[in-house]
């Protein structure tokens, strides 16, 4: 197959490869959206677990404070019973100090219980809010999964059509040239061959040396742009006049 015919096929193949490249890009991007949502959900779940563990700590602390309060109340009642046995002023003063100390402990206990109770109330409200957010995020991910599956199915169908089209164009192209072209397509946003505009590469926007321009226009060999590394061709070689003269 002549260089001209190879270039002609590559130009035809270019349109197909460009479509394939961008379909593949869309297919890669779709799961990424779901993956991003899953990471957000996982972070929310970790944050919820931390708060639930903290709530358990507060509940344990409150239970301990309530036990202490019961013990203080029992001790206070027992101390009041001692009043019946008081016989001296010194005993009365000692009992009064003991009652004052117990009263102080009970007030401190009550204050701390209120503080812990407030923390539990606020934390449980936050936990409930986060559970609702997690439930909504889970439903959103399920919905996204369904949407992605449908879109991927449609893209796979589109890809199948492009692949069939490609199979009608690619045969006959030199294997080495085709491999080079496909590699360029993958690293150059789906574009592996571009036209020259005068002596300028329309992809890399640099001036091509005169000898190389001559080789391109006379289709002597496959030439790549020294800047963008894409294969170059001269549009005029496919004109009717050029074909007639060939």
Quick check: 176 pLDDT over 60? yes
Nearest CA to 7 out of 233, 218, 221, 211 is that of 233
* Cβ atoms within 10 Å of 230's Cβ, excluding its own: 21
Distance CA 67, CA 65 (A): 5
Q: Residue 119's closest CA among 162, 161, 61, 68?
A: 61
State the angle between helix axes of 175-187 and 3-81 in degrees (0 to 180), rounded to the nearest 10. Answer: 40
83 pLDDT tier (thresholds 50, 70, 90): confident
Contact 208, 196 (CB under 8 A): yes
Q: Among 18-32, 154-168, 177-191, 229-243, which stretch is predicted with the lowest mean pLDDT?
A: 229-243
Q: Kindly tell me if the per-residue pLDDT of 225 is higher than 50.
A: yes
Per-residue pLDDT at 140: 93
* Token duo for residue 222: 């496959």
214 within 8 A of 245, measured Cβ to Cβ? no
pLDDT attached to residue 77: 94
pLDDT digits 0-9 by tens, 98-141: 999 999 999 999 999 999 999 999 999 999 999 999 999 999 99
Q: What is the mean pLDDT of residues 152-160?
A: 94
DSSP labels, 134-192: HHHHHHHHHHHHHHHHHHHHHHHHHHHHHHHHHHHHSTTS-HHHHHHHHHHHHHTTT--
- What's the mean pLDDT in 165-183? 93
CA-to-CA dists, residue 45 to 34, 40, 52, 138, 156, angstroms: 16, 9, 10, 11, 34
pLDDT at 1: 79
Q: What is the pLDDT of residue 242?
A: 46
Looking at residue 245, its pLDDT comes to 41
How wide is the angle at C-alpha 221 spanned by C-alphas 215 and 224, nearest 5°?
Answer: 85
Calculate mean pLDDT across residues 53-60. 97
Dist CA 54 CA 59 (whole Å): 9
87 confidence band (pLDDT: 50, 70, 90): confident
Q: Is the pLDDT of residue 36 over 80?
A: yes
The share of the chain scoring above pLDDT 70, in percent, equals 97
Given a cut of 80, whether residue 190 has pLDDT beyond it is yes
* Tokens 């449980």, residue located: 124
């Amino acid at each position: 197959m002549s260089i001209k015919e190879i270039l002609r096929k590559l130009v035809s193949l270019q349109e197909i490869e460009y479509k394939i490249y961008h379909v593949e890009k869309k297919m890669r991007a779709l799961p990424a959206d779901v993956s991003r949502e899953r990471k957000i959900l996982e972070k929310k779940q970790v944050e919820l677990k931390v708060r639930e563990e903290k709530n358990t700590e507060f509940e344990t602390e409150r239970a301990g404070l309530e036990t202490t309060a019961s013990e203080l109340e029992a001790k206070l009642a027992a101390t009041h019973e001692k009043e019946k046995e008081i016989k001296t002023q010194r005993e009365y003063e000692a009992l009064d100090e003991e009652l004052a100390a117990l009263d102080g402990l009970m007030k401190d206990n009550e204050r701390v219980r209120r503080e812990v109770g407030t923390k539990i109330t606020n934390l449980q409200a936050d936990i409930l809010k986060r559970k609702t957010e997690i439930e909504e995020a889970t439903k959103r991910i399920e919905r996204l999964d369904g949407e992605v599956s449908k879109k991927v199915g449609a893209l796979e169908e589109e890809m199948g059509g492009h692949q069939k089209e490609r199979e009608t164009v690619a045969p006959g192209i030199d294997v080495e040239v085709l491999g080079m072209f496909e590699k360029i397509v993958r690293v150059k946003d789906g574009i592996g061959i571009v036209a020259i505009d005068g002596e300028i590469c329309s992809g890399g926007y640099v001036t091509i040396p005169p000898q190389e321009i001559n080789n391109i226009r006379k289709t002597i060999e496959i030439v790549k742009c020294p800047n963008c590394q894409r294969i170059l061709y001269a549009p005029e070689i496919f004109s009717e006049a050029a074909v007639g003269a060939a």
